[in-house]
Amino acid sequence: MEKIICKLTVNAIYMAMCVLSINALPALAFPDIYEPDNTPEEANAVVIGDETPKQHTLHQTENGDKDEDWFKFYVMEGVEYDVKVISVGSDIDVVVGLYDSPDAKTSIDASDATAIGQDEIFSLSPLEEGIYYLKVRDNAKSTVCRKNIQYELLVLRRPAIKMGELKGTVTDAISGEPIKDALIFTTCNTSDTSFSEKNGDYNTILNCKDGKAFELTAKVDGYKPLTCSLTSIEILTLIRNIPLLPNGKNLPAPTPSQSVYSNGDKLQVTLPNLFEGCVDYYVAMGYPPEAGSGLFIVTKPAKKLNDLTAFTGSPLQWNGSGNVAIDMPIEDMPLGIYTLYLLRTPEGVAEPLADKHLENVSTSTFEVKK
């Protein structure tokens, strides 16, 4: 009898401890902040080479099942990867499955090499380029009072190289809204890939030597891909936002304050909101063709408002944040139709205004009459 009471008491104490522990450690026992990620469609994107701790849990769902977590990452041709599941809680036995499609019913490879509470290292065989999915689940027999159910997942390039970091935010160039799931890659040595997160933020590891020129590309459905040229900074963090233009759309054109001006009127030209990042902007004014004066580039107002410089092929870049580009009286300007241009090119290209680099040209006109 005494034994039974003792056993009951021990169980009761254990259960009480279990409940207490769950209350004391909600981050471990309850859904993690990356939920829901229970299907390939909800998969969280993995930044290749990122070792920043991100704690996930395999909690008990409302209907008593064990949680499953999905991840996705982009494989580059000729690059090999290790998936590491680390800081594994003592109550779970992690199994990692690899899938080559969001619709795949069965995994193309899986790893369950270690026992309960141990880290799992999953060395992937060479894969074709594309998006792959990982599913992490708990294979431990026990379902009762699982407390230590946390883990972290890393996808590392083999051999792992960690140098500088490149990060920023991917946005819609017109609305400024964040864009998620944009694929990010660079030409630093062998490329590493990344996706932008729900808030548009991305980061990727730069494995270029200091001072090396490289290209940064962002692409996502519905937008024109953007490739800009940058210079690597070893060890340090390089920040570049990426404003993407929606397919089939141009930036709004510069707006003149009137459609017709005459001598003594004030010409005022305002620009749309321009989002800075791995792009350069140019503002220009074309004189009437019959005046034969050609194209003038408008320099940024912070330097000198109304500074019209004849276009010689090496334009002055517009990167000001002020929206007023021109503010001057009309005095003895040739009569005729003037064209206002807003040009956008990727950052760092050798001939920014060459046709192949002119990513956006939006125009408006005004007339100067007698």
Shortest CB 30 distance to Ca ion, Å: 10
Per-residue DSSP letter, 251 = P
Q: Counting contacts by CB under 5 A, is residue 138 touching Ca ion?
A: no
Report d(CA 198, CA 8) in Å as an integer.
49
| Contact map string, positions 31 to 70, toward Ca ion, x by CB under 5 A | -x----xx-----------------x----------x-x-
Count the helix, strand and coil residues of the chain and give each as a percent rounded to the nearest 5.
Answer: 10, 40, 50
Shortest CB 52 distance to Ca ion, Å: 17
Residue whose CB is less far from Ca ion, 32 or 165: 32
Chain residue whose CB lies nearest Ca ion: 69
Task: Give CA angle at 304 (298, 306), nearest 5°.
Answer: 45
Report d(CA 230, CA 354) in Å as an integer.
18
Residue whose CB is less far from Ca ion, 67 or 280: 67
Residue whose CB is less far from Ca ion, 37 or 165: 37
The length of the chain in residues reads 370
Residues contacting Ca ion: total by CB under 5 A: 6
Shortest CB 20 distance to Ca ion, Å: 23
Residue whose CB is less far from Ca ion, 37 or 50: 37
Shortest CB 33 distance to Ca ion, Å: 9
Residue whose CB is less far from Ca ion, 38 or 317: 38
CA distance between the termini of the chain: 113
Residue 87 CB contacts under 8 Å (≥ 6 apart), including other chains: 53, 55, 119, 150, 151, 152
Q: How many Å separate Cα 126 from the centre of its chain?
A: 26
Shortest CB 26 distance to Ca ion, Å: 14
Shortest CB 152 distance to Ca ion, Å: 12
Residue whose CB is less far from Ca ion, 70 or 214: 70
Residue 115 CB contacts under 8 Å (≥ 6 apart), including other chains: 93
Residue whose CB is less far from Ca ion, 14 or 30: 30
Instruction: Check: CB of residue 323 under 8 Å from CB of residue 333.
Output: no
Shortest CB 49 distance to Ca ion, Å: 22
Q: How far is CA 190 from CA 76, 158, 255, in A?
A: 9, 11, 45
- Point out which residues bind Ca ion (CB under 5 A): 32, 37-38, 56, 67, 69
